[in-house]
Amino acid sequence: MRIALIVGCIFFSLLATSVVFPQDDEGLNFSGFFRTDVGVSWVVSNDSLERYSYAGRNTFRLDFINKDTTYGKVDGSIDFYILSGEKSRPLTFQTNGLLIGDEVLLWFDLRKLYLLTRLEWMDISVGRQLVKFGKGFVFSPINFFDRLDLTDINFSRVGVDIIRVKIPISDTGAFDIVSAPKIEITNSDVSTRIIFSVLGVELEGIFGYFGKDEYLRSGVSFKGDIEIGIYGEFVYNYNEEEDKRYYEFMVGGDYSFLDHFTSRAEYYYNSYDKDNLTPIQSIKLKHYPFVSKDYILLQLSYTPDILNTITLSYIKNLEKEGFILYLEYRRNLFQNINFYTDVRFFYRDISGIINSKINNLYTSLSFDVRF
Amino acid sequence: MNKIIWYIVFLCICGLGFSITGDEILRRVDANLNFKNAIINAKMEIYLPGQQPRVKIFRTYIIEDQKAYTEFLNKEDKNIRYLKLGKQLWIHDKSENNTILISGHLLKQGMMGSDISYEDMLESEDLYSKYTSSLEGEDKIKNRDCYIILLKAKTDNVAYHSRKMWVDKEYYISLREERFAVSGRLLKTVEVEDFKLFGTRHYPTVSVVSDKLKANTKTIISIQNIDFDTSIQDSIFTKRYLER
């Protein structure tokens, strides 16, 4: 209840701020969307649909940023949810939700909320931010600070609480220092990154320390063109214990053809020896949910015009049985209104941790209105 | 006899003096289109059969043909920004704090779903350096007298192998243009609906672009205001500004 009150206070403070400072260069800019999803989830076993359940979600996203960002900015994004049925079940015991009745949950997710100060030769930002290192679309071992949410069909990333210093070194280059501090300072994560562009190729190097598991990480990434777009990442994870040292890499490519099709393929490999790990230890691995040795992503999008897009994505665990199949159709109904429908099939456990034979089929219909 | 000879010589000189070549026409077209820098506020209306137009509003800062920064201002796309430096194009999604270097093959696709490709956006307007031109004849477009010139690419490093232009005889604005692939296939048409005088140059303010590989689509670009050769800070054309 206290959490709901705090969120409510934040929301109304923001609205009040926009009313008090209505001038062009003062106050906050608001944007976002309202989206409603209605879905059905089935358990698939022995090639038949055995048990189904309703899953509903209403999302109100509020993005805000101060209008004059010359010397700094406050950048925030909050998702407010009303979750029902299957969508609310896994979150019922979380602290930032408010249960209404048996199955409906009010929930919020603070995606980002940070303050950035712009000095002459560097930017300093503190707070919850979305950090994206590397070039990988789904597999991105160089991406140090967050994990991919595979339940999100758009493969969006979650915010992390960090302090970041970014120093531009050229028009397209920068040097970054990012730290996720913890109470025990030795548990903190810290990473440096340099990114620059040369001869049409974008290069990136990282060196960091992952405190909790005591890993030193160094890696590189690139993105360039040889008719097709190619990109890749390599990371070496050094630990004092020799049997915990491992490397990861991914290579990917994208190509568009016949004017309306775009394809993408990515391959990921890690050399981590996970034979003696418990499932809980496996879930805590930095490269979770891609715990098995190697994975592949295949994606095909068909966009006949601005109104319609069909996307098929397939992620396969190549070491063990397990794959995810997403099929999404998006239709822009009007200027700011979209319709979506999708089917998602989760065959066994993509991470390879649990030897489960239970599969899950989920389908949903959604609308969103952008403001 | 001498008088007749002198009369013929006089006619020839007059003919040389007043005839115009394709190259000269192209140079004058370039003179209208090329600028050192500009700030453009424009509206893009994307038309599809049976649909209300999808409207996008944007602001672009341009320095010669090398640097451009574009940000969208309509509510659906206000998180999207582009930075062009030379032949490279980055797109920044402010909502996800993510900057992506666009792969070369994607540059042929329509920008924000329009009939204008990223390649069109990246291409320099300095046509004379990239195309040879020949005067093919004369025609009338919208009751305006026009030269027809045919442009052939000097190198492979251009988006269109050849172009046919109907150039206004008085203002040297291309009122209609057809753009072709190497195979001779018509890829795109551009029609200028309106143009205005800005200082000493005439510049199109309403253009209709139609991608002939799409069925019955068109995009209308309307320039709401434009400042030529104004001062633009170099810091705008950086990833720091793109991600600000």
pLDDT digits (tens, 9 = 90+) for A4-62: 555 555 555 655 555 555 556 678 889 999 999 999 999 988 777 888 888 889 999 99
User: Is B105 in contact with A168 (Cβ distance < 8 A)?
Assistant: no
CA B155/CA B178 separation, integer angstroms: 19
- Could you tell me if A202 lies within 8 Å of chain B, comparing CB atoms? yes
Comparing A102 with B115, the larger pLDDT belongs to: B115
CA A340/CA A211 separation, integer angstroms: 41
Q: Specify the pLDDT at position B15.
A: 46
The ipTM (two decimal places) reads: 0.86
Q: Quick one: tokens of A166? A: 């970014």
pLDDT at A312 over 90: yes
User: Is A307 in contact with B48 (Cβ distance < 8 A)?
Assistant: yes
Q: Specify the pLDDT at position B125.
A: 64
Q: Specify the pLDDT at position B1.
A: 52
Strands (E), chain B: 37-47, 54-63, 67-72, 80-85, 88-93, 98-101, 131-141, 144-153, 162-168, 174-180, 186-198, 201-211, 218-228
CA A249/CA A268 separation, integer angstroms: 6
Phi-psi region of B129 (alpha: psi -120 to 50; beta: other; left: phi over 0): alpha
Q: Specify the pLDDT at position A276.
A: 82
Q: Quick one: tokens of A45? A: 């076993």
- Could you tell me if A123 lies within 8 Å of chain B, comparing CB atoms? yes
Closest Cα in chain A to B47: A306
User: Is B96 in contact with A306 (Cβ distance < 8 A)?
Assistant: no
Residue A233, classified by CB atoms within 10 Å of its CB into exposed (0-12), middle (13-18) or buried (19+), is buried
pLDDT at A351 over 70: yes
Our measurement of the distance from residue A155's CA atom to the centroid of its chain's CA atoms, rounded to an integer in Å, reads: 5
Q: Specify the pLDDT at position A345.
A: 94
A262 with A255: CB under 8 angstroms? yes
- Could you tell me if A193 lies within 8 Å of chain B, comparing CB atoms? no
Mutate to test the interface with B, among A66, A67, A172 (most CBs of B within 10 A): A172
pLDDT tens-digit profile, chain B (244 residues):
566 666 555 544 444 444 789 899 999 999 998 888 899 999 999 999 889 999 999 999 988 878 899 999 998 898 999 998 888 889 999 988 899 998 888 887 888 888 888 778 766 668 888 899 999 999 999 899 999 999 999 988 788 999 999 999 999 999 999 999 999 999 999 999 999 999 889 999 999 999 998 878 899 999 999 998 888 999 999 999 999 8
Strands (E), chain A: 28-45, 48-66, 72-85, 97-100, 104-118, 123-129, 160-168, 174-180, 189-198, 201-210, 215-226, 228-238, 246-257, 261-270, 294-302, 308-317, 323-334, 337-347, 359-370
Chain A partners within 8 Å of B95 (Cβ)? 63, 77
pLDDT at A348 over 80: yes
Upper half-sphere CA count for residue B196 (Cβ side, 13 Å)? 11
* Residue A155 DSSP class: -
Mean pLDDT, residues A106-113: 90
Beta-carbon contacts of residue A325 (< 8 Å; ≥ 6 apart)? A312, A313, A314, A343, A344, A345, A347
Chain A partners within 8 Å of B54 (Cβ)? 306, 332, 335
Nearest to B55 among A63, A259, A335 (CB): A335
